[in-house]
Amino acid sequence: MKAFLNIGLAVIFGGISLVSCKDDDDYETIQSVDKVKIDSVAIVNDTMDVYSVQSIRTYSTYTSGCQGFYGYDYIHTGNFERDVTAYQFNTNGVCTQSTHKSANQFNFSPQQAGTYTFRFWKGDNSWITKTIVVE
Per-residue pLDDT at 9: 46
Number of domains composing the chain: 1
Is residue 63 domain-resident? yes
Per-residue pLDDT at 121: 98
What residue numbers bound the domain in which 76 lies? 26-134
Is residue 7 domain-resident? no
CA–CA separation, 64 and 68 (whole Å):
8
Is residue 105 domain-resident? yes
Q: What is the pTM of this model?
A: 0.77
pLDDT by residue (tens digit) across 81-132?
A: 999 999 999 998 888 778 889 999 999 999 999 999 999 999 999 999 999 9
Supply the CATH number for residue 117's domain: 2.60.40
Is residue 82 domain-resident? yes
Is residue 9 domain-resident? no
Is residue 46 domain-resident? yes
CA–CA separation, 127 and 11 (whole Å):
62
Residue 4's pLDDT band (boundaries 50, 70, 90)? very low
Per-residue pLDDT at 95: 81
pLDDT by residue (tens digit) across 20-72?
A: 555 555 677 888 999 999 999 999 999 999 999 999 999 999 988 889 999 99
Is residue 41 domain-resident? yes
Give the max Cα distance, the chain: 76
Is residue 79 domain-resident? yes
**With contact defined as beta carbons under 8 Å apart, do 102 and 62 qualify?**
yes
DSSP 48-112: E-TT--EEEEEEEEESSTTEEEEEEEEEE-SSSEEEEEEEEEEESSPPP---EEEEEEEEE--SS
Per-residue pLDDT at 35: 96
CB-based contacts of 50: which residues, under 8 Å, 6+ apart? Answer: 110, 111, 112, 113, 134, 135
